[in-house]
């Protein structure tokens, strides 16, 4: 798995994708939705297009792994928050795939531990968001 390529705008505190990127086998299947800068396919692939913009990992150290995983996770959060896909079960599956991405992108003991710490934070936020 490779890292995505993005530029960072310090004034806006946002990343902007400079090369399209495909997240394969995300576990978010059976959905077909798209926006100007992304497409979620029924087989669970998420395609991000050049120009896609997001804020990186919230309250996180934005390593290359975190920047890549957070791009996927931000789209799933937007889709569930806006009701474009159902919150249950897709938000939990998106949270899980976020952790898997961190583990794949940082294949060492630190990456494994860090992925669980970040997953706990995003899962807690997802649950609190529903209250």
pLDDT tens figures, 2-61: 999 999 999 998 999 999 999 999 999 999 999 999 999 999 999 999 999 998 887 677
CA-based diameter of the chain, in Å?
Answer: 38
What are the Cα distances from residue 20, in Å, to 29, 55, 129, 130? 21, 17, 30, 32
Separation between Cα atoms, residue 60 and residue 22, nearest integer Å? 23
In angstroms, the CA 59 to CA 55 distance is: 10
75-119 pLDDT tens trace = 999 999 999 999 889 988 998 898 899 889 888 877 778 888 887
**For the segment 51-67, what is each residue's pLDDT rounded down to a tens digit?**
999 988 876 778 899 89
């Amino acid at each position: 798995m490779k890292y995505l390529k993005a530029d960072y705008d310090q004034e806006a505190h946002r990343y902007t994708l400079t090369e399209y990127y495909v997240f394969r086998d995300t576990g978010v299947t059976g959905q077909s939705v798209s926006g100007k800068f992304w497409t979620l396919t029924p087989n669970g692939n998420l395609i991000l297009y050049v120009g896609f913009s997001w804020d990186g990992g919230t309250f996180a150290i934005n390593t290359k792994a975190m920047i890549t995983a957070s791009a996927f996770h931000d789209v799933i959060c937007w889709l569930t928050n806006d009701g474009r896909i159902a919150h249950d079960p897709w938000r939990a599956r998106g949270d899980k795939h976020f952790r898997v991405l961190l583990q794949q992108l940082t294949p060492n003991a630190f990456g494994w531990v860090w992925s669980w710490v970040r997953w706990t934070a995003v899962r807690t936020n997802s649950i609190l968001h529903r209250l």
